[in-house]
Amino acid sequence: MTRLFNDPASFADEMVEGFVASHARWVKRVPGGVTRNTVSTPDTAAVVIGGGSGHYPAFAGLVGQGLAHGAAMGNLFASPSAQQIYTVAKAADNGRGVLFGYGNYAGDVLHFDQAQERLRAEGIDCRSVAVTDDISSAPLTEHTKRRGIAGDLTVFKVAAAAAEAGYSLEAVAQVAGRANHRTRSFGVAFTGCTLPGAAQPLFTVPEGRMAVGMGIHGEPGIGETDTPTADELAELMVTKLLTEVPEGVDLQGSAPARVVPILNGLGSVKYEELFVVYRRVSQLLGEAGLRVIDPQVGELVTSFDMAGTSLTLFWVDDELESLWSAPCDAPAFRRGSVTAQVLSATPLAAGPDLEITVPDATPESKNAASQVLAALTAAESIVIANADELGRIDAVAGDGDHGIGMERGIRAAVGAAAAIVARGAGAGTTLHAAADAWADKAGGTSGALWGLALRAVGDAFGDEVKPDSTAVATGVAGAAAAIMQFGKAKPGDKTMVDVLVPFADALAEGARTQQPLAQAWGDAAVIAQQAADNTADLLPLMGRARPHAEKSLGTPDAGAVSLALIIQAVHTTFTLNASPKENP
């Protein structure tokens, strides 16, 4: 368990502060994460990596000369927000564009894509590579659905070395993609991990058993087996990985195929144990006729206190081997000799001006803004009251952080809404402020999607008129469309969409029949709750729960449940603030 913390909600921020204080020779803090504190080669592409905190040395430990130019750092096990990624990329840009590198998780994809679109709109060229090395998370025929685990390191290192060598952004992206294609990983765990302040681990493994194919965010394994000996574990991992030799690798050629093995500790397995396992890994790779290049044994991508390990095989060619072996100097990964000029100490960069201009609003819209704030406050209360249960539901087949993320997001949304209502904002501007705050502070998939949802409703409300049933129905329909377009989920995938779509349809019908908003919302809330309950019978087809689909049968989707709870909470504010014949 994690023992040393103050306020669990402040853990990630305090961790970054301490990391920067202890590694100022390499990094400096910027809004959203860290960048190099050394002089980079001008007019070269920049590599910006990122993901949730809790995986050190990924991601901040891989920032330095010859490695990443910056790392966007999300909260614990939650992707960084688009705003965090944007500000880190702006600080790291050397004038020749930015390559984003991250693990292939829904929240990371959503937020990095949003940041990429924003940077491109400002004239900064961007490319992305989502690492997909985990062979347990999807079959080879669906390799684009695989998640990124310890193979992050090979892709990030190759990309950064290519950028350092002066490759164009397009060429950096291409060689990073090839490194990803030639990287395969397989992992096991003996215990789950426990987040700061949590009473229980995100998953448990029975004594004497081992979880096979688990993720790095507390996702349970896809199966269990008896705990093997060190040699048996080595044989399991090598055998699994040798069944998937990447296309383009010739095992029958005149020269032996070359492979970089990475035996990664996930947090609690001691280095001595890893060395015992690697002893047999090395023997097996030699028996397979492979030439081992620069093996790595140690903690490179962790998961708090999880007791587990993973094996990565990186199949190199001449170019990939040269880039992998190129010198670098980062806090947690160093190769060869690097000469770097350390920048003078500088204060924390302020980042772009985030102060929201408050447009003029009518008295009717200002009154509606106060009611929006009341609705968000009611949502905050119900989310906080149910955060632990939402986490429990999410942990059945996912990573268990949904309650934490929802709590962070709604708290930020309420704070932003209260501040801007006090400045005389209308309903639309209030919702936009809440949307941006929710997405920024929550991170993760739910942060991105709730940001989209609130912004869509704000677009429909505007700052001029009092929203009626039609405006609300239009806004909720816009939220559903935005979430499905951006998140790619559809009804039946076991996500919040399974609640949002029938809820939007019911509101639209209420508006068509000219029902008062309180009545239309109340009727639709009943449908939403039933839809949330019905997700217990579905198998997840999206997100981190997808590889463990069968485990979630009988349990509703956490995102669907939280949405239904919020819908009900909002309805209570309608009945308090409006008579049956009035629209709030």
* Residue 571 among the catalytic residues: no
| Rounded alpha-carbon distances, angstroms, from residue 90 to 34, 286, 290 | 12, 45, 42
Q: Are 183 and 152 in contact (CB under 8 A)?
A: no
Overall domain count for the chain: 2
Listed in sequence order, the residues at least 6 apart from 364 whose beta carbon sits closer than 8 Å to its beta carbon are 464, 465, 466
User: What pLDDT does residue 533 have?
Assistant: 96
For residue 427, is it within any domain? yes
For residue 346, is it within any domain? no
Among the three residues 308, 330, 352, which one is the final residue of a domain in this structure?
330
Q: Are 441 and 448 in contact (CB under 8 A)?
A: no
Q: Are residues 372 and 247 in the same domain?
A: no
For residue 583, is it within any domain? no
Write out the two tokens for 350. 């302020």
User: What pLDDT does residue 330 have?
Assistant: 97
Q: Are 335 and 66 in contact (CB under 8 A)?
A: yes
DSSP bridge partners of 335? 328
Closest listed residue to residue 90, CA positions, set 50, 65, 122, 61 = 122
Write out the two tokens for 169. 């952004």
User: What pLDDT does residue 78 have?
Assistant: 86
Read off the CATH number of the domain in which 569 is found. Answer: 1.25.40.340
Q: Are residues 292 and 427 in the same domain?
A: no
For residue 347, is it within any domain? no
Read off the CATH number of the domain in which 249 is found. Answer: 3.40.50.10440
Among the three residues 306, 330, 354, which one is the final residue of a domain in this structure?
330
For residues 477 and 482, give the distance between their C-alpha atoms in angstroms, rounded to a whole number: 9
User: What pLDDT does residue 75 have?
Assistant: 86
Write out the two tokens for 159. 């990309």
For residue 489, is it within any domain? yes
For residues 166 and 189, give the distance between their C-alpha atoms in angstroms, rounded to a whole number: 40
Which residue in 23, 217, 432, 548 is the catalytic one?
217
User: What pLDDT does residue 583 have?
Assistant: 44
Q: Are residues 88 and 155 in the same domain?
A: yes
Q: What is the largest CA-CA distance in the chain?
A: 83
For residue 339, is it within any domain? no
For residues 30 and 16, give the distance between their C-alpha atoms in angstroms, rounded to a whole number: 10
DSSP bridge partners of 408? none
Can you spell out the DSSP letters for 109-128? HHHHHHHHHHHHHTT--EEE
For residues 383 and 208, give the distance between their C-alpha atoms in angstroms, rounded to a whole number: 37
Q: Are residues 288 and 368 in the same domain?
A: no
pLDDT mean by block of 10 residues, the chain; 584 residues = 81 93 95 94 96 94 97 91 95 96 92 94 97 94 94 98 97 98 96 84 88 82 91 98 94 92 96 98 97 97 94 98 97 87 57 66 96 96 92 77 87 96 96 93 86 95 92 96 89 94 96 92 96 91 56 87 96 67 44
Neighbour tally for 382: CB within 10 Å: 19
Identify the H or E element spanning 333. Answer: strand 333-335
User: What pLDDT does residue 352 have?
Assistant: 45
Q: Are residues 60 and 209 in the same domain?
A: yes
Q: Are residues 299 and 409 in the same domain?
A: no
Q: Domain of 41?
A: 8-330
For residue 439, is it within any domain? yes
Rounded to the nearest 10 degrees, the angle between the axes of helix 558-577 and helix 363-395 is: 150
Listed in sequence order, the residues at least 6 apart from 507 whose beta carbon sits closer than 8 Å to its beta carbon are 469, 472, 473, 476, 477, 520, 521, 524
Q: Are residues 307 and 404 in the same domain?
A: no
Among the three residues 288, 311, 330, which one is the final residue of a domain in this structure?
330
Q: Following CA atoms 459, 461, 462, 467 in sequence, which dihedral angle do they give, to the nearest 10 degrees?
A: 170
For residue 431, is it within any domain? yes
| Rounded alpha-carbon distances, angstroms, from residue 420 to 2, 373, 427, 490 | 37, 10, 10, 34
Q: Are residues 321 and 375 in the same domain?
A: no
Write out the two tokens for 561. 């449940």
Q: Are residues 392 and 439 in the same domain?
A: yes
Find how far residue 493's CA is from the centre of its chain: 19
Rg (CA), the chain: 25
Q: Are 269 and 309 in contact (CB under 8 A)?
A: yes
Q: Are residues 226 and 367 in the same domain?
A: no
Q: Is the dihedral of CA 496, 73, 220, 181 positive or negative?
A: positive
User: What pLDDT does residue 580 have?
Assistant: 41
Q: Are residues 223 and 317 in the same domain?
A: yes
Listed in sequence order, the residues at least 6 apart from 541 whose beta carbon sits closer than 8 Å to its beta carbon are 489, 492, 493, 494, 549
68 secondary structure, DSSP code: B
Listed in sequence order, the residues at least 6 apart from 162 whose beta carbon sits closer than 8 Å to its beta carbon are 45, 171, 172, 175, 176, 323
Find how far residue 80's CA is from the centre of its chain: 6
For residues 86 and 159, give the distance between their C-alpha atoms in angstroms, rounded to a whole number: 19
Q: Are 190 and 165 in contact (CB under 8 A)?
A: no
Q: Are 214 and 188 in contact (CB under 8 A)?
A: yes
For residues 489 and 439, give the distance between their C-alpha atoms in angstroms, rounded to a whole number: 18
Contacts of 226-235 with C-beta under 8 Å, sequence gap 24+, read: 227/190, 230/273, 230/276, 230/277, 230/279, 230/280, 231/280, 233/188, 233/277, 233/309, 234/277, 234/278, 234/279, 234/280, 234/281, 234/284, 234/311, 235/280, 235/284
| 50-88 b/e (C-beta count within 10 Å ≥ 16 → b) | bbbbbbbbbbbbbbbbbbbbbbbbbbbbbbbbbbbbbbb
Q: Are residues 37 and 121 in the same domain?
A: yes
